[in-house]
Structure 1
Amino acid sequence: MTAVSPDAGRIWTAARGPVLIGVIILFAAVVITLLRGGGEGGSLDPRSYRPEGSHAVAALLEQNGVRVELTDNVSSVEGATLFVTHPDLIDPERLSELSRRAAATVLLAPATEVGKVEVETRQPGCPLASKAGPATTGGFVYEGEQRCYDSTLVRTGTVTTIGFGAIFTNRDLDEEGNAALALALLGQHDRLVWYLPSAADRSQQKSFTDLIPDGWKFAAWQLGIAAVVIALWRARRLGRVVPERLPVVVRAAETVEGRARLYRRSHASAHAAAVLRQAARDRLTPLLGLPHGEDPSEEIARRTSRSAGSVRTLLYDEVPVDDRGLVALADELDALENEVRKG
């Protein structure tokens, strides 16, 4: 019978092309995601001139006598304002320690919010930001000792938390009172440590799957489910094994004659003689009550008039024979077997 269900090798041969392409695309997406996360030109980077960058506010701070120090691994914050652009990438204990050491701390959209609101122009509603006036705020809402802009900007002690970073970007800095508010928050002291957390400083390391966009994850799940469905479809059982009737019945005599013709065509008379002797030994051993493989020559000599030497020569001789010698050997083996049976 011929197997029709594909084995693992065939399935892998058919699927390795699409799998390889998927792996390459996934790897490229991860690399692009990682490369976009840092370097010049990134979001809220004081070196970046792009709309989402923060070069404009950094330049204004320096014009007002504030020294801006960009870092991705904070070492010294004493006497300085610490601005953390991605506080969720830092271990909370380390962030608390940095906040205690810094003269003032500004956290941008940490994951400690109590709600969310739309991003729009809001009035300060508190003495803390009264000089800045209306500004573009929103995003997350927080609890704090001092609450401004509908609680999207709060201050507790020396730590200020803001729910959205539009006021720090090149695109929105000149809107409403955004520039005044940004300078008020980041220019509290003569030195500003602008902290962009890097991969080396991420105590809360994101997993590999966290770096993959949600759309890629959804597509990967779809491809996985499709692959499972296809595998189940191709590997389905075809039912119980059904024996097939052979189209032609070959008689045993024809099989023997065919093998004999093959031996004769290949001039394998020596091999044919060895086969005849082995077959004779296999038939004689059980007749004599001997274990399989034991030399029956001595026992045959006791039951017949032949000598043990002549019997051993007949059963084990390896001298090459021709076709006539092969016929004579077959006759002698038949005669020996008949003598044993009669004896």
Structure 2
Amino acid sequence: MSDTSSAVGATVVQRWRTVRWVLLALVLIVGVATASAYLTAPREGGRMDPEATSPDGAHALVALLRDHGVDVVTATDLAGVERAASPDSLLVVAPTPYLVDDDGLRRLEGLPGDLLLVEPSSWTREALAPGVKAADATSFGGDPDCDLPEATRAGRVQLNLSATFEAVDGAAPLTRCYRGALVRQEQRGRTVTVVGTADFMTNSGLLQQGNAALAMNLAGARPTVIWYAANRIEGESDGATSIMDLIPGRVGWIVLQLCLVVAVVALWKARRIGPLVAENLLVVVRASETVEGRGRLYRSRRARDRAASALRTSVLQRILPRLGLGAQSDPASVVETVAGRIRHEPSAVQYALFGPDPTDDDQLVALSRLLDDIERQVATS
């Protein structure tokens, strides 16, 4: 009894030593795959979101600005903008549908520093750039045609579909670039720049001609950039309560324990795979028996055409890869290649591979010998 227990214990230990490395490898693979998927997954966000790596995000532009020594402060609320604002700062207002509060717009209007409005809504433009009015939209890509330094250094750009602007009657003169898609005006002691599209500043738009240079020149004009991308109306909460917020905290631990129990039961009930066992076959069947049986069947039915077709098809399947030909090669190319390879008469090769069906058994036997000879010569050539 003790010998049996010792043998069983030794077997269990051997199996565990084998299985533990497999389990460790699986854990490592899953861990690496999970970490890679998390790190490389695009971070979604709104249009011109400074943290979003999606095509409409602005993470690439923000990273470029920081690499060039610009202090970029990201803000999602007015309090953060007001803390970072200074006379030497540039406030970039990203396109957002949430900037609709009159009080919030007045607070932005009273901040020091320059202002860059990117694809502003009419509500935002009228409040922060009252001397600028909208004109017709245009699909534009080309030269700046102005003396604005940021635009002239960038040169030709691809702005795609963009709104255009012009000065309000009686307002200060505008500097209009790219047919009015980019305008600049001095208002109340600060520079206000309005751009009719955000496409050239997004992650995908930076790759087009001149766009990265124009975006860097406009957004990096000051040592400090305040990137304001409102994701909610000022004063509202971050969002409605989700179902996950209603689940008690202990539920997560309960689910984890249940998963652990299921894993233990699965290991307990799993089938134990032992060593391979060699067994003697009850019946030994020759490999050629199928071929002989099919040959007798063809002979009994006098199906010489099918037998010849089977022989030719098999030979072609074996020699075509050796000749560098595909299964769809035309017969003329196959005959020419085979004849050139084995230095045989093309007519004989044509008859052997694609000729008429034999009319008697002697012709079928002769055809099989000819096919065997062609295949042998192709294989040894």
TM-score (norm 1): 0.44
TM-score (norm 2): 0.40
Larger radius of gyration: 1
